[in-house]
Amino acid sequence: MAASDSSTELIRLTAADLSAKLAAREVSATEVTQAHLDRIADVDSRVHAFLHVAADQALAQAREVDNKRNQGEALPELAGVPIAVKDVFTTKGMPTTCGSRILDGWHPPYDATITQRLKDNGVIILGKTNMDEFAMGSSTENSAFGPSHNPWDLSKVPGGSSGGSAAAVGAYEAPLAIGTDTGGSIRQPAAVCGIVGTKPTYGGSSRYGVVAFASSLDTPGPFARTVLDAALLHEAMSGHDPMDSTSIDAPVPPVVAAAKQADVEGMRIGVVTELSGEGYQPGVMARFNEAVELLESLGAKVTEVSCPHFKYALPAYYLIAPSECSSNLARFDAMRYGLRVGDDGARDAEEVMALTREQGFGDEVKRRIILGTYALSSGYYDAYYGKAQQVRTLIIRDFDAAFAQVDVLISPATPTTAFGLGERADDPMAMYLADLCTIPSDLAGNAAISVPCGLASDDGLPVGLQVMAPAMADDRLYRVAAAAETAFAARWGQPLLAGAKGLDAA
């Protein structure tokens, strides 16, 4: 499908620019929405970012925004800007599958708090994006509905688990997207797709209506092509939610102001010693080191900081997250909603539950349920779950000690660039290593962002710079990321993503 020049231009705009044009009534929400729906129709057969495109609902929502604007109503900043929503957020009137067969056919009767906030802000929901089943994975290859593809190179993974959301933004199918980060599921796909992704402070964004993987870790957050766009979305979606007990009752940190401030003059930045070395791709390290020099040149005081317990983060994570998931996923039992297998009148409820779970869950989900069930078993609890929680405390202490010396910590967002589809699909350990740099912040519940810092010299694929800040100091992420983004753009002469050529062929 050939799109017109003007719609090609619309899809390349940032959310901030779209917002300005919409407010000035240079363009309507309907036109903006249609342009993105056209783009989805044009490229998504190759990217497979979406599991469900809600064209009619999106256009209806857009018309409503246009009507309100035409009647002179004051609208929120992002009103009329489209978004792609990870299929882990409940959405009234749209399916919610979590990338799993077991939720086949389920239409939630309620909206997640964040879905509702997006609607209240007039943000246009284009549809639901692909993900690793129940957010377990780093490539979207664990989706029951087939993988998504990296817009830089369609033979590569877009990362995961929020790979569909990252790919949608990277492929200009949406200017904004939301995902969830449990072990790195926002930052890792953002990094390998060359876009911006933030894991807010745990409790800073509501989990109500986010189908749980690991309750103590799951954190919804924004994807965007620019730091300012991510901040705008961060601000719109966050804030206290009385429906989520773990939600923090405090004002959202001033992330938009920080993104606009965009300076690191005098900031103390710590490079985490432990997040480098063996297993880190040389091309990734080269770009990361360049970023360190850049920040120093912008006036930051950079030092090395050791976080000695970070090396235990990955094993601790793979006990805590599976333990919680083994319990969270118990509810998928064919009794009340979703898939039901073997209900032939001869089998009893227990057999139907077992058959449904056997056929409804994929291998990785089963692996983690079994792992978690084992770790919580009587006689093993102290050695596994209990010990992992102690490690978690040590990691929090590492962060506390580090943040006593520096304002933010930095590291590569991922040890390597995007890997090939199928390359790690049969090697869970290799797959788990993709989250090596991102897991510590999840375990500590603090804030972290990934911002593009160039292309790896060895494979020409995007590299992400991770910035980590103390809990509820999310604004610091945006200051650093925006400063780096501005400086890099000046150096590159264009945004990094402008170089993505994955969709140019065909």
Partner 1 sequence: MTTETLVSFAEAMARYEPVIGLETHVELGTRTKMFCGCTTRFGGEPNSQVCPVCLGLPGSLPVCNKSAIEYTIRIGLALNCGIASWCRFARKNYFYPDMPKNFQISQYDEPLCTDGYLDVTVEGKTFRVGIERVHLEEDTGKSLHVGGATGRIHGADYSLVDYNRAGIPLVEIVTKPVTGTGELAPVVAHAYVTELRDLIRSLDVSDVRMEEGSLRCDVNTSLSPKGSAKWGTRTETKNVNSLRSVERSVRFEIERQAAVLDAGARVIQETRHFHEDSATTTSGRSKEEAQDYRYFPEPDLVPVAPSAEWVEQIRAALPEAPSARRVRLQAEWALSDLDMAALRNADALDLVAETVAAGASPADARKWWLGELARRANETGTELAKLPITPVQVARVAELVAKGTLNDRLARDVLDGVLAGEGDPDSVVAARGLAVVSDDSALAAAVDEAIAAHPDVVDSIRAGNTNAVGVLIGAVMKATRRKADAVKVRALIEQRLG
What's the min distance (Å) between Cβ of 202 and partner 1? Answer: 11
Cβ proximity to partner 1: between 45 and 378 the closer is: 378
Q: How far apart are CA 321 and CA 368, in angstroms?
A: 8
What's the min distance (Å) between Cβ of 391 and partner 1? Answer: 16
Helix (H, G, I), strand (E, B) or coil at 179: strand
In Å, what is the CA distance from 400 to each residue of 178, 208, 393? Answer: 29, 28, 10
What's the min distance (Å) between Cβ of 385 and partner 1? Answer: 6
What's the min distance (Å) between Cβ of 94 and partner 1? Answer: 13
Only one residue has tokens 């997250």, namely 321
In Å, what is the CA distance from 135 to each residue of 87, 180, 292? Answer: 10, 8, 31
Buried b / exposed e over 272-301, threshold 16 CB at 10 Å, is bebbbeeebbebbbebbebbbebbeebebe
Asked if 438 and 217 count as a contact pair (C-beta separation under 8 A), the reply is no
What's the min distance (Å) between Cβ of 6 and partner 1? Answer: 38
Q: How far apart are CA 459 and CA 448, in angstroms?
A: 26
What's the min distance (Å) between Cβ of 245 and partner 1? Answer: 5
| Site residues for partner 1 per CB under 8 A | 89-90, 96, 98, 103, 106, 108-110, 112, 207-212, 214-216, 242-246, 323-324, 326-327, 330-333, 335-337, 348-350, 353, 373, 376-378, 381, 385
Please, which residues bridge with residue 53 across strands?
Answer: 127
Cβ proximity to partner 1: between 8 and 246 the closer is: 246
Three-state SS sequence of 368-414: HHHHHHHHCCCCCCHHHHHHHHHHHHHHHHHHHHHHHHCCEEEEECC
What's the min distance (Å) between Cβ of 348 and partner 1? Answer: 7
Only one residue has tokens 């994929």, namely 362
Cβ proximity to partner 1: between 232 and 369 the closer is: 369
Asked if 424 and 156 count as a contact pair (C-beta separation under 8 A), the reply is no
Mutual angle of helices 163-170 and 29-47, in 10-degree steps: 120
Task: Give the neighbor-by-neighbor strand order of the sheet with 176-181.
Answer: 50-53, 124-129, 82-86, 176-181, 219-224, 196-199, 447-455, 462-469, 408-412, 268-272, 301-305
What's the min distance (Å) between Cβ of 82 and partner 1? Answer: 23
DSSP state of 264: -
Cβ proximity to partner 1: between 147 and 209 the closer is: 209
Which residues, 6+ apart, have CB-to-CB distance to 141 below 8 Å? Answer: 132, 147, 157, 160, 421, 422, 425
Buried b / exposed e over 353-384, threshold 16 CB at 10 Å, is bebbbeebbbebbeebbebbbebbeeeeeeeb
Element (H, E) at 188: helix 187-193
Q: How far apart are CA 347 and CA 353, in angstroms?
A: 10
Residues designated catalytic: 86, 161, 185
Cβ proximity to partner 1: between 8 and 373 the closer is: 373
Helix (H, G, I), strand (E, B) or coil at 98: coil
Q: How far apart are CA 368 and CA 432, in angstroms?
A: 12
What DSSP line would sit under 14-50, residue for residue? Answer: -HHHHHHHHHTTSS-HHHHHHHHHHHHHHHHHHH--E
Cβ proximity to partner 1: between 323 and 411 the closer is: 323
Asked if 10 and 38 count as a contact pair (C-beta separation under 8 A), the reply is no
What's the min distance (Å) between Cβ of 262 and partner 1? Answer: 35
